[in-house]
Homo-oligomer: A and B are copies of this chain.
Amino acid sequence: MDYLGNHMLAEFHECDSDVLNNSGKLEQIMTEAAKLAGATVVSTHFHSYSPTGQSGVVVIQESHFAIHTWPEYNYAAVDLFTCSAKMDFEKAYDYLIDTLGAGKHSFSIVPRGYIKTAMAGTNEEME
């Protein structure tokens, strides 16, 4: 199956609420996580909610890496969209578990952009 991108959706529960509500710290963590995954950071955009919660998007050369936090529930949602097969999401994931202090965590990968022509190309090679 040929897809143009991969979208990793990660759930982090039982996190440190102080970290989840610290915009500067989250920006450092997400930037470092992007680098660990092998991404090239283009720009970072972090936003604080009132009274609590943070949103952050790291625009990377390979697409995007985002976090949204609910400190009151010790929960953070992270997603990494990448068009590169070389990205090492697991390194970023392990780093996020440590730095967010996540007691429970999981992730799933959603392939994006199924291209029939790519499949046709594969079939031709098989003939």
Which A residues form the contact surface with B (CB < 8 A)? 4-5, 7, 9, 11, 42-43, 45, 47, 49, 53, 55, 57, 59, 61, 63-64, 66, 68, 70, 73, 75, 77, 79, 81, 83, 110, 112-115, 117
Q: How far is the CB of A57 from chain B (nearest CB, A)?
A: 5
**Inside 8 A of A42's CB, which chain B residues have their CB?**
47
Which 8 pairs across A and B sit closest by C-beta, in order of nearness? A77-B112, A75-B113, A57-B57, A63-B68, A73-B115, A45-B59, A64-B66, A4-B70
* In the bound complex, CA of A70 to CA of B64 (Å): 15
Query: If the complex has contacts A7-B79, A9-B110, A68-B83, are A73 and B117 also in contact, measured as CB distance less than 8 A?
Result: yes
